[in-house]
């Protein structure tokens, strides 16, 4: 399958996106060290998304990409619904889920992950349930400054452009009536759509803004 300057092909280790001399494959196995209990609880995303008093919170990852953040949440006990609107990226993610389901260390984790191919701006308004958390990680140019990150995301940028509908995305997230919305941002980046967070958790490489909607 060809898409622009890239080609989607079946490699020995799974579905691959090839282009510009680079190969991109979603691979959950390499994240296993971060899924250890002693490390998982320290992940900023897990801490930002945690819901008190709920044993298995339901989270919607509205911008799933290659599903790495969703995997962390699922490993922490969340039930995750992932939206990915680009069909090529969705294919890479679906292939990763299928491969991971056959790995004993990941079978239980990925059983809590469900992929929906489609635009989350529409899907969030048609969920049929109120999630505990909506997670947003809109692609933005600032995240491509380091060479390592740039190489990883360059192929994805050929398929999916940085978010240009921040307000619409945030409004759809809030319309789903979650307990909180968690937004991934660069450490010194502006708040999504200018919305002031209730609080934030920041590390050296990323910041999570948490928006707690007022009671209905």
Q: Express as a percent the part of the chain with pLDDT over 90.
A: 72
* pLDDT tens profile 51-87: 999 988 999 999 999 999 999 999 999 999 999 999 9
By DSSP bridging, strand 199-202 and strand 6-11 are unpaired
Average the pLDDT over 4-18 and give the result. 85
Answer whether 201's CB lies under 8 Å from 48's CB.
yes
pLDDT at site 140: 55
**Which residues share a beta bridge with 134?**
60, 181
Q: At residue 148, does pLDDT exceed 50?
A: no
Is the pTM value of this prediction over 0.85? yes
Q: Which residue has the higher pLDDT, 146 or 132?
A: 132
Question: Average model confidence (pLDDT) for the chain?
Answer: 88
Q: What is residue 31's predicted lDDT score, i.e. its pLDDT?
A: 96
Contact assessment for residue 83 and residue 63, using Cβ atoms and an 8 Å cutoff: yes
Whether 24 shows a pLDDT value over 90: the answer reads no
């Amino acid at each position: 399958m060809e898409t622009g300057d890239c080609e989607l092909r079946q490699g020995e280790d799974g579905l691959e996106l090839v282009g510009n001399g680079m190969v991109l494959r979603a691979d959950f196995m390499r994240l296993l060290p971060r899924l250890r209990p002693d490390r998982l609880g320290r992940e900023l995303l897990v801490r930002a998304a945690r819901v008190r008093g709920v044993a298995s919170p339901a989270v919607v990852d509205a911008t799933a990409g290659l599903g790495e953040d969703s995997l962390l949440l699922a490993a922490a006990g969340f039930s995750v619904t992932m939206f990915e609107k680009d069909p090529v990226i969705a294919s890479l993610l679906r292939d990763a889920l299928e491969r991971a389901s056959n790995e004993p260390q990941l079978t239980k984790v990925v059983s809590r992950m469900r992929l929906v191919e489609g635009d989350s701006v529409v899907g969030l308004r048609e969920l049929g349930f109120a999630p505990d958390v909506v997670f947003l990680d809109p692609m933005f140019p600032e995240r491509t400054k380091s060479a390592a990150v740039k190489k990883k995301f360059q192929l994805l940028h050929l398929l999916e452009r940085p978010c240009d509908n921040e307000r619409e995305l945030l409004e759809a997230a809030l319309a789903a009536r979650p307990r909180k919305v968690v937004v991934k941002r660069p450490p010194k980046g502006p708040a999504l759509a200018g919305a002031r967070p209730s609080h934030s958790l920041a590390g050296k490489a990323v910041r999570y803004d948490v928006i707690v909607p007022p009671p209905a």
